[in-house]
Amino acid sequence: MKVCKFGGSSLANAEQIRKVCDIVLSDPERRIMVVSAPGKRSREDIKVTDLLISLANARISGYDGLTELSAVVRRFADIAEELELGNDIVSEIEQDLTRRIAADPSYTMKFMDSLKAAGEDNCAKLVANYLQSIGKHAQYFDPKTSGMILTEEFGNAQVLEESYTQLALLKDYQGIVVYPGFFGYTKAGEVATFSRGGSDITGSILAAAVEARVYENWTDVDSVYAVNPNLISNPHAISEITYDEMRELAYAGFTVLHEEALTPAYRKGIPVNIRNTNNPPARGTMIVKSRVNFDSIVTGIAGAKGFCTLNMSKYLMNREVGFALKVLQILADEYMPFEHMPSGIDSLTIVLRQDVFTPEKEKRVVRRLVDEIGIEKISVDRNLAIVMIVGEAMAHTVGVTARAANSLSKAGVNLEIINQGASEISVMFGVREEYCNYAVKELYKEFFQR
């Protein structure tokens, strides 16, 4: 059986919803469909989830939210009308939203999640209604009764292990399961959402629960590309990529799939197939556990801005047992995750995301490092980007880092950091932010256009 997840652009209007249903109906193996909330119909349009966030904010700020409410209802009503579904489904959606906004908005996070979830929840009801209206055996499944149980981290929830056993029962349903993405329920029965873009996670969880043969993730691109298509026109399309490679590229800015979405599929070894709703014959990109065929040494190149380094040195640092532990403890006290930690004999650099290292935190951390562990020299370097080349084939090829560094040096890009992980499937370069895109383009030329 296949689990198919459809993103917001695949459900933005009636025409897209028809396409999505045709895709599902064209293959009897496609038995579970996970839907996002309707996305943008054009560049300037607003996603339903964002409309719902505005509605929640209006209520939290003490307004009645009626204007915002009618904008959401309008979106669903337009789709329902074009799909010739009649008015009942629209009234049902309006009642559902009215009930949600009547809750106490002072529990901000819970209130917000209940509203954010309404986009996917009502979209799933609408799609199931459409499939039934054209005579298909399909049903909406409620995450509450079907067992999608999540932690209480509202807005950033995680699935609880116990969900899997009950969710596995979905495979017994003989028709098409229409399942809303993005949210589940806490043990106390409250709505909790994953982080933004989280319908990908729902799809992966269901695929793992029913042990699907493949998890199809339908979006609006033909495949994952070796580089951001906004930087290079017609870039190399990746036909196969491993979970590990994908994870590294997602980390450095590939946004095709939610960063957390691979884990459930990965643990069960279920291949993930990225497909295009607007071009179903294209076979897309297959994300797999391991691969043996490589058509290039480097699989992908990515760059992400917004990093900074905390550089420190102390004479005889290498002899001091537990030194790094003390540094990391100070970061942990500030609740600051670190990204990389390149080191020398007497020096240590911590690479951090700039948004977590606020100037106030910087002041406190620097003072503690000096006072408590006697750091002699310390500096912070902001506005850095990381640029990564990723590829399983790199581990067996000599000279890839040299080639990359050489091409960047010829292009006049100064390297602030070089870091290679133990798996040898990626090399990371730290450059100044203004060089980020340029460096990515130069590396692409080196590895794909020579």
Instruction: State the residues that interact with ligand ASP by CB under 6 A.
Output: 8, 36-37, 47, 49, 119, 181-182, 196-200
Is residue 307 classed as helix, strand or coil in its secondary structure? Answer: strand
Closest to ligand ASP by CB, 115 or 301: 115
Which one, 113 or 222, has the nearer CB to ligand ASP?
113
Question: Smaller CB distance to ligand ASP: residue 48 or 302?
Answer: 48
- Looking at the DSSP bridge assignments, the partners of residue 377 are 313
Which residue, 119 or 147, is less far from ligand ASP as judged by CB? 119
Comparison of 265 and 384: residue with beta carbon closer to ligand ASP:
265
Least Å distance, CB 259 to ligand ASP, is 12
Name the minimum Å distance from CB 261 to ligand ASP. Answer: 9
What's 83's DSSP letter? Answer: T
Contact 220, 276 (CB under 8 A): yes
CA dihedral 221, 258, 239, 223 (to 10 degrees): 0
E-assigned strand segments in 49-89: none
Nearer to ligand ASP, 208 or 310 (CB): 208
For 302, the token pair is 């990515």
Distances (CA, A) of 310 to 49, 135, 296, 351: 37, 62, 35, 6
Nearest-angstrom CA–CA distance, 112 and 217: 26
CA distance 329 to 327: 5
* Minimum CB distance to ligand ASP smaller for 69 or for 226: 69
Closest CB 289 distance from ligand ASP, rounded Å = 24
Tell me the one-letter amino acid at 283. Answer: R
Question: Using a CB cutoff of 8 Å and minimum separation of 24, what contacts does 290-294 make?
Answer: 290/242, 290/392, 291/240, 291/241, 291/242, 291/392, 293/240, 294/391, 294/392, 294/393
- The span from the CA of 125 to the CA of 135, in Å, is 15
Between 119 and 300, whose beta carbon lies closer to ligand ASP? 119
Question: Cβ 156 to ligand ASP, closest distance in Å?
Answer: 12
Q: How far is the CB of 123 from ligand ASP (least distance, A)?
A: 9
End-to-end CA separation in angstroms for the chain:
42
CB of 7 to ligand ASP, least distance (A): 6
Q: Is 140 exposed, middle or buried (0-12, 13-18, 19+ CB in 10 A)?
A: buried
Both tokens of 213, joined, read 């043969």
Burial (0-12, 13-18, 19+ Cβ within 10 Å), 144: middle
**Nearest distance from C-beta of residue 349 to ligand ASP, angstroms:** 34
Please state the closest distance from residue 184 (CB atom) to ligand ASP, in A: 13
Residue nearest to ligand ASP (CB): 199
Distance of closest approach, residue 47 Cβ to ligand ASP, in angstroms: 5
Q: Using the minimum distance from each CB to ligand ASP, give the nearer residue, 47 or 75.
A: 47
